[in-house]
Amino acid sequence: MTHQYLLPSALTDKDMQIRKAGFEFEFGNLPVLQTAAALQQSLGGEIDAKSPFEVILRGSILGKLRIERDANILKSVKYRKWLKEVGVEFFPGSIVHNIESNIDNASRLLIPCEVVTEPIPFNELNKLDTLVETLKSLGAQGTQDSLIYAFGLHINPSIPSDSVDTLLRYMQAFLLLHTWIIDFSSIDLTRRFLTKYIDPFPAQYLELVLSEEYTPDINAFTEDYLEHNSTRNRALDMLPILCCLNRERVLEAVSAEERNLVKGRPAFHYRLPDCKVNVPSWSAAEAWNAWVYIEKLASDEVLLRELIGQWCLNNEIFSIAPRTSWALRLTSILSRKFFEG
């Protein structure tokens, strides 16, 4: 089945290069080595097995992929250095390698597996369908398969510009569409209420950023963001971008626990979508196209100003359930303006 990956208005960055997006798929029920072997068969490339918990697939049709068990205690394999010093070998087929493989197999129902892509050009995102269909064929489990699962699909689109005007418009567009996207995409209640990874932005931050008088320079934009959001746990995590612009200030603001996890890169970290690899008809295009609504709104200055004005008059609508007249009106406006015809 062919899925349509919509294209945003801003296709190139400030250097006139095609923008790219990296994807992080979280899922359950699959051992790392089995997943890597199946992806090699469907996507090509060469396998570089770091351990049964971490494999790099190089030279695939999607470029480099990292397949790993999403647990630092397993990926670190720090115990290997000590065991090697006493003569223990870790080659495939060795006793210790088999033990590690059994650990990975046993943990697959509790600790998610993750496939991380390198940045892919926006006009080549349809290649992701082969990856998703491969995971489905293996029996990968998605967010809806268990009450304890909170698997996400993280998308990291490169920024079109690092100007404060651009970053502000994207943030405003996201805040305006946040509740609508949750409703439109049927974001799973487990991830919304039982984890902190996609916590909503504080009401005070919404009121500040969606004020018609808010025109910060980049330093004020950074300080305001960090004052209200000194954490990675936001559905649109801006810390990687801000870390690129002012690394010392960002690392000073976040907790010691998160300091080693914040990496600077000129890309949005969009963490809202579920990973629904258990749903037969699902494609990554579903999550991507919801992001494109944000892109389109950020690029339409007239509509953005109009919706900010309406929000300032009626901001109480954001404190009630997403299925409101506001959400329905957004569906009508955005569908008619961006995607019909």
Burial class (CB in 10 A: 0-12, 13-18, 19+), 151: buried
Please, what is the angle between helix 284-299 and helix 301-313, to 10°?
A: 90
Nearest to 300 by CA among 334, 253, 250, 264: 334
90 CB contacts (<8 Å, ≥6 apart)?
A: 51, 80, 83, 84, 96, 97, 100
Structural tokens at position 239: 């810390």
Interatomic CA distance for residues 316 and 314, integer angstroms: 5
Query: Across the strands, what pairs with 67?
Result: 55, 115
What pTM value is reported for the model? 0.83
Strands 63-69 and 120-121: unpaired
Contact 254, 230 (CB under 8 A): yes
Tokens of 8: 């945003």
What local confidence, expressed as pLDDT, does residue 77 receive? 39
pLDDT tens-digit profile, the chain (341 residues)? 678 999 999 999 999 999 999 999 999 888 899 999 999 999 999 999 988 788 999 999 999 999 998 644 343 334 334 334 434 344 455 444 444 444 444 444 457 889 999 999 999 999 999 999 999 999 998 765 444 456 889 999 999 999 999 999 999 999 999 888 887 777 665 545 545 556 789 989 999 999 989 999 999 999 999 999 999 999 999 999 999 999 999 999 999 988 988 999 999 999 989 899 989 999 999 999 999 999 999 999 998 998 888 777 766 544 444 445 566 666 666 666 665 54
Alpha carbon dihedral 85, 90, 93, 97, in 10-degree steps, equals: 110
| Of residues 71, 55, 73, 192, the one with CA closest to residue 116 | 55
98: nearest Cα among 52, 30, 29, 67 = 52
Specify the residue for token string 């801003």: 10
Q: Which residues, other chains included, contact 46 with Cβ-Cβ below 8 Å and sequence gap of 6+?
A: 40, 57, 58, 59
The answer to whether the CB of 317 falls within 8 A of the CB of 326 is yes
